């Protein structure tokens, strides 16, 4: 299953004209490469990573806003599998599941963010003979993949770290990344916002207003429904220096 999902993920990269060895920004990639994509960040139970809804002319991914950015990136990649290859129109995805489709989506997500060949190339380019915490943190920062996802890959699919290392490396990741010179953004929620909508919904709202299909008031109502007070009230307006 691992190699099958890796090939599927690499096929997506080739379709999207992304080199298999490149790191990707899955947040912007999903919006740019999947037609009519909207991503909604919202508070969910801790054991729920996300969900997706496939409509006739709209694709929606819901992401747990309390999870780390690395986990959220994994969730988006996971939900892309459901949108592209799962016949179900709606999926709610937990962190742990024995369901066969969920296992495939997890492997697809891991390989989309960091293909098998990319791991081998990274090891070669960085002269990694064996994985230690330094090399693991460097790799997850480069590929923007969650710490847990990389550890799972190295332990249970590639057998390149021991179980004892897997357990030891799990601890104190923010501190361990910080003392190696990295900021904590990969290990904290994306933009640190509990509610946020990005993608097609926002674009369609603006387009409807520009074409006089909705009033200014309706536009603001729709944007507020999508948790975009920043747009309505110009909260992120650039300052001049």
**pLDDT greater than 80 at residue 241:** no
Whether 240 is in a domain gets the answer no
Whether 197 is in a domain gets the answer no
One domain for residues 100 and 177: yes
**What does the pLDDT look like over 41-70, one tens digit per residue?**
999 999 999 999 999 899 999 999 999 999
One domain for residues 49 and 19: yes
Domain range for 226? 203-232
Whether 128 is in a domain gets the answer yes
Q: Who wins on pLDDT, 125 or 96?
A: 125
50 pairs with which residues across the strands? 63, 93
> Looking at the 3D structure of the chain, how many domains does it have?
2
**pLDDT greater than 60 at residue 211:** yes
pTM recorded for the entire structure: 0.94
Whether 238 is in a domain gets the answer no
**pLDDT greater than 90 at residue 71:** yes
One domain for residues 16 and 74: yes
Whether 94 is in a domain gets the answer yes
One domain for residues 183 and 209: no
One domain for residues 163 and 63: yes
**What does the pLDDT look like over 156-180, one tens digit per residue?**
999 999 999 999 999 999 999 999 9
pLDDT of residue 237: 60
Whether 93 is in a domain gets the answer yes
Residue with tokens 């603001």: 220
Mean pLDDT over the full length of the chain: 94
**pLDDT greater than 60 at residue 238:** no
**pLDDT greater than 90 at residue 235:** no
What does the DSSP assignment read for 165-228?
HHHHHTTTHHHHHHTTT--SGGGS-GGG-SSEEEEHHHHHHHHHHHTTSS-HHHHHHHHHHTT-
């Amino acid at each position: 299953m691992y190699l099958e999902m890796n090939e599927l993920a690499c096929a997506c990269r080739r379709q999207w004209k992304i080199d298999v060895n490149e790191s990707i920004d899955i947040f912007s990639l999903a919006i740019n490469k999947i037609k009519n994509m909207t991503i909604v960040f919202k508070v969910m139970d801790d054991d729920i990573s996300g969900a997706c809804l496939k409509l006739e002319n709209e694709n929606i991914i819901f992401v747990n806003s309390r999870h780390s950015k690395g986990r959220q990136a994994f969730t988006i990649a996971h939900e892309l599998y459901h949108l592209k290859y799962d016949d179900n129109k709606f999926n709610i995805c937990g962190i742990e599941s024995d369901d066969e489709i969920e296992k495939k989506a997890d492997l697809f997500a891991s390989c989309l963010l960091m293909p098998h060949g990319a791991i081998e190339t990274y090891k070669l380019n960085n002269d990694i003979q064996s994985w230690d915490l330094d090399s693991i943190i460097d790799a997850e920062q480069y590929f923007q993949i969650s710490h847990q996802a990389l550890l799972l890959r190295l332990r249970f699919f590639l057998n390149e770290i021991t179980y004892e290392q897997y357990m030891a490396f799990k601890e104190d990741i923010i501190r361990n990344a910080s003392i190696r010179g990295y900021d904590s953004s990969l290990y904290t929620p994306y933009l640190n916002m509990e509610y946020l909508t990005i993608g097609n919904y926002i674009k369609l709202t603006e387009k409807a207003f520009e074409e006089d299909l909705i009033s200014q008031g309706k536009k603001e109502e729709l944007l507020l429904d999508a948790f975009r007070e920043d747009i309505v009230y110009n909260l992120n307006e650039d300052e001049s220096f």
